[in-house]
Each structure stands twice: as structure tokens, then as C-alpha cells.
Structure 1
């Protein structure tokens, strides 16, 4: 057990601590889950995303410098609006070389007091279908559980400053992203229920 856990948790959850995410707040769909975990003595969350569909500028070759140049043209943590996406593509700056549509599933990082505590939530995550979940321990003894799945989607639609696909294709891609979001939320509901049952009993 790390002797620093309580201090780490206090510092991480301090009311005046700045939220460094782009949204600067917890996503609405997972607020209750985050609070349930943070209210438990043996856990706290360090970062999270309920899942999102984004339209973003990108580079054909991703490096540390090009990644920082990524710009979001559209983002939603709910069902994507095809008309809003078509509008943002129509109004895109013509100098943008590459644009992609991407769906990212729910991800959650939880700091755990002990390895035994971490294994409890890891087993729940795996049972709920988050097969890509795992544990990492830092040199300072900080144990991080990453809850994540492999349900991602990324499709380039503007290449060389030209829109390479028609509206029907974009509509289909957005429809697939929305199907993934629906499945993503169903899985979150299951995970939240299992976590509540387990942590509520301890």
C-alpha cells in the first residue's frame, strides 16, 4: 500500500484544482460513476471521457509536433448530428490538408490504494466487456487502472484539401459512430451498476 495515496487523492480532488481537459468538466453521462468512485476510501479518478465523436484536422503522419496541431471542428459526447457535421465540413478553412471523423469509446483512469483494490475494479471492467483494461504501477507506487475498450473508429474524409467522399458516405460513417455510441452508453450503464453494487457494499 502506498503511504502517499491519501495525499495524492486530496491533491487531485482539491476544489481549486484546474480541470486540464478540453471540456474542463466531467462528462454528464458519467458524473454519477465518477462521484461513486471518488467517494470511496480506496479510489479516485484522474481522467475520464464518456465517449465522443469528433471531426478534427490531422496530419497524414502523426508526430509529437503534428499531434499538438490537431484542431477539433466538431465534438459531441452524445449522438452525432449529421447536419452539424456537414455544415462544419462545408465551412472548413480550405487550407486544411486533412480532416477525419473519429469515434472514441469511454475511458477512465482510476488511482487505487492497493493492488488488491485495483484488481477488484479490473475484474469488474473485464466482466463488463472492457477487454483492453489494465494496470500500471509508477516508480512512486501509484497504481493506475485504465478502463477502456477497443471500440474505436477513424475515417479520413478530407485528404490533400479535397473532400474525398460524398454526403451519403459521410452519413453512413456518422450512423456507424452513433451505433457505437449507443453500445458505448449501454456498456457504461452496466459498468456503473456493477461498480455501485461492489463499492456500495464495502
Structure 2
């Protein structure tokens, strides 16, 4: 517990490494909500964006690109056309949905976030355990969009098609915003319902509590509890199905 608290303090003290040097507006509220709890620490986030980037065709596109347009709100066709006027290489239009990475003190904390994320529509969410037992929960979605628009500065699609792409991207952005709102509201309710850990009174797993109640009832009847109740399911083993590969760009 002390190790997690130190890691959290160190991470939150670091300067923001993003291009914007600040949290996105919709992600900021979630970050405040989670970081106010000792069991969680946000690591990175993006509340969803529409971008137009271009490269010279060499290297890794997302690593060696120039950003011609970045917006976290629905955009207009004119915004994209203006951005393309600056493109001299290969231009790509993208919609990237909300993503949030959260460090969790215990596996059960990550499972709580995972459950809320899935229920909110972020069905590509997953949990990973790294070296040293670091537990990371990633809130992710799959409704992305990536379309090449120009090659070597030459526009390869019609303006009508660009207008269609912008319409599709804006629909995805609106759905993205709805999912963030659902996640935020669901998370508030889940955190309020969760019993905070008290170091003087360690939490008793729910299944152990059920076993104790049954044991008391059995003792009152002069009977031993069935043997199948003596070995509660291993929560760690049952949670392995939740693990998914996590790649942080």
C-alpha cells in the first residue's frame, strides 16, 4: 500500500508530457474523481479527437507526422479542406475515441473499473499486471476511423467523400461523448457503493462473508458446513479472462 502511494505521488508530480500540456476537458473530471481515491492513479488519457496528419511517406506514420488538424469536438468539412492545403506528403484523416489508463492498487480495484467501462460501451477495455505487480486498467473502445486522403500532396478522394467522412466522424464523436458521460456517472455510483479500505480493519472478501454466514447457520443447526464451501473461489484465477494486451502509445 505504501509503495502504491509513493508511486502515485511521484507520477502526479510529473509535468504533463502531452502536446497540449494539460488534460482534455472531459478526461479532467474523471481524473479528479479517480485521483481523489487512494486506490487509483490516472496515467494517461485522451477524451477523443479528430485529426488530419501528414508524413513524407517514410518511417512510422504516427511517430513522424505533422499535425494539420486536431479537434476534440465535432468538426466541419471546411476545417479538413483547410488542413489539406498544407499537406505536402501523405495525409490521413482519423477519429480516435476516448482512452484512459489507470494504475490500481489491487486487482479488485481494476475489476471494478473494468466492469463500469464495459457497461458504458468501452468493450475493448482490459487489465494487465506488469513487473513488480503493477496493475493497469485501460478504458478503450473500438469505434475508430482512419482513412488516407492524399499521396505526395495529391488529393486522392473527392470533396463529397471528405464531407461524408466528416459526417461519420462526427457521429462517432457524439457516441464517444455519450459513452464518457455514462462511464463518469457509472463510476461515481460504483465508487460511492464501494467500501473504502481501512488499514486497521482489512476488507473481508465477499465470498468469505457468505461462508461465515452459512457456517453460523450450520452451527446453529448442529451441522457442519458442506466441504464445497470451505474453499472459496480464487478471485485472481477467475479474473484472468479479463486480461487483455495493453499497448500505450
**Is the TM-score greater than 0.5?**
yes
Name the CA distance, whole Å, in 1 between partners of 2:101 and 2:56: 28
The answer to whether the aligner puts 1:196 opposite 2:191 as a matched pair is no
Q: C-alpha offsets along residues 114-159 of structure 1, whole Å, 9 cap, x if unaligned?
A: 0111111111111111111111111121100000010100000001
Equivalences for 1:79-118 in 2 at 5 Å?
79-90=74-85, 92-93=86-87, 96-118=88-110
The answer to whether the aligner puts 1:56 opposite 2:53 as a matched pair is yes
Equivalent residue in structure 1 for 2:162, among 145, 159, 170: 170
| Structure with bigger RCO (C-alpha 8 Å, 6+ apart) | 1
Distance 1:179 1:62, change over 3 A: farther
Residue 121 of structure 2 is matched in structure 1 by: 129
Gaps of 5+ in 1: none
| Number of residue equivalences | 194
SS at structure 2 position matched to 1:149: coil
RMSD after superposition: 1.6
Normalised TM-score (structure 1): 0.90
Name the CA distance, whole Å, in 2 between partners of 1:137 and 1:58: 35
Q: C-alpha offsets along residues 172-196 of structure 1, whole Å, 9 cap, x if unaligned?
A: 1011100000000000000000001
Runs (4 or more) in structure 1 with deviation over 3 Å come to 58-63
How far residue 97 of structure 1 moved from its aligned partner, in angstroms, is: 2.3
Gaps of 5+ in 2: 195-249
Higher fraction of strand: 1
The answer to whether the aligner puts 1:72 opposite 2:67 as a matched pair is yes
Name the CA distance, whole Å, in 1 between partners of 2:59 and 2:187: 36
Equivalent residue in structure 2 for 1:154, among 146, 150, 155: 146
How far residue 60 of structure 1 moved from its aligned partner, in angstroms, is: 5.5
How far residue 59 of structure 1 moved from its aligned partner, in angstroms, is: 6.0
How far residue 3 of structure 1 moved from its aligned partner, in angstroms, is: 4.7
